[in-house]
Chains A and B, each alone.
Chain A
Amino acid sequence: MLDTVLLIVFSMIGLSLLLNLWRLIIGPSVPDRILALDTMYINVIALIILYSISMGTGLYFEAALLIAMLGFISTVAVCKYLLRGDIIE
């Protein structure tokens, strides 16, 4: 049963990644695109966790943690750049 459920959830997250990509392409403004990227990295973490469940190994946990941290930092850095025109003042 778990295999079927995993397949369904994989396709759900794949679909939401496609929707995010659509928002990333059509914009219309820069904050919209950053929001789409921010949602994308969160969905990618979910994808990695699902992959590690389907492989039955816990090795991918550190990758998920690193992506969470890098994604947050990059979102804040790009927002800061939009707000001030400079990242570190």
Chain B
Amino acid sequence: MISEWVVSILLLFGGAFILIGSIGLIKLPDFFMRLHGPTKATTLGMASVLIASMVFFTNAENGLSVKEILITIFLLITAPISGYMLIKSAIHHKLKAKEGTKGLNNIKDD
């Protein structure tokens, strides 16, 4: 019973974070700010959904189920790298940042 509560809370938490990441993708005004939603909120949301699945299968199959840690580690390692590649290609394409962004002169042309 306790495990059902834990799974439910973790799933709701994760789903809420994934939804917030996508809301950020729609709502924020320029590309550089939109990047913050998926690289952070979605990663945490995925981590809690995967931990929920771990708890559920550990409880259901009478044995420790730890395979989900692999996906969590993989996403935690790769999310910054794909974010870095995306922001690099955005800088390369000279996308417009929002009005009033400070420190635009710090971007160096290559």
A binding-site residues for B, Cβ under 8 Å:
1-2, 5-6, 8-9, 12-13, 15-17, 19-20, 22-23, 29-32, 34-36, 38-39, 42-43, 45-46, 49-50, 52-53, 56, 58, 61, 64-65, 68-69, 72, 75-76, 79-80, 82-83
List of B residues within 8 angstroms of A52 by Cβ: 53
Could you say which of A2, A34, A49, A61 has the most chain B C-beta atoms within 10 Å of its C-beta?
A: A49
In the complex, the answer to whether B12 meets A8 with C-beta atoms within 8 Å is: yes
CA distance A45 to B18 in the complex (A): 11
Closest to A22 in B: B26
Closest to A72 in B: B78
In the complex, the answer to whether A69 meets B74 with C-beta atoms within 8 Å is: yes
In the complex, the answer to whether B12 meets A5 with C-beta atoms within 8 Å is: yes
What total of A-B pairs shows CB separation below 8 Å? 144
Q: A5-B8, A29-B95, A82-B89 are in contact. Are A39 and B25 (CB under 8 A)?
A: yes
Interface residues of A: mostly helix, strand, loop or mixed?
helix
In the complex, the answer to whether B85 meets A79 with C-beta atoms within 8 Å is: yes
In the complex, the answer to whether B18 meets A13 with C-beta atoms within 8 Å is: yes
For B61, give its contact among A35, A43, A45, A58 (CB under 8 Å).
Answer: A58
> How many Å from the CB of A84 to the closest CB on chain B?
9
In the complex, the answer to whether B8 meets A29 with C-beta atoms within 8 Å is: no
In the complex, the answer to whether A34 meets B86 with C-beta atoms within 8 Å is: yes
List of A residues within 8 angstroms of B43 by Cβ: 42
Q: A68-B75, A72-B78 are in contact. Are A49 and B53 (CB under 8 A)?
A: yes
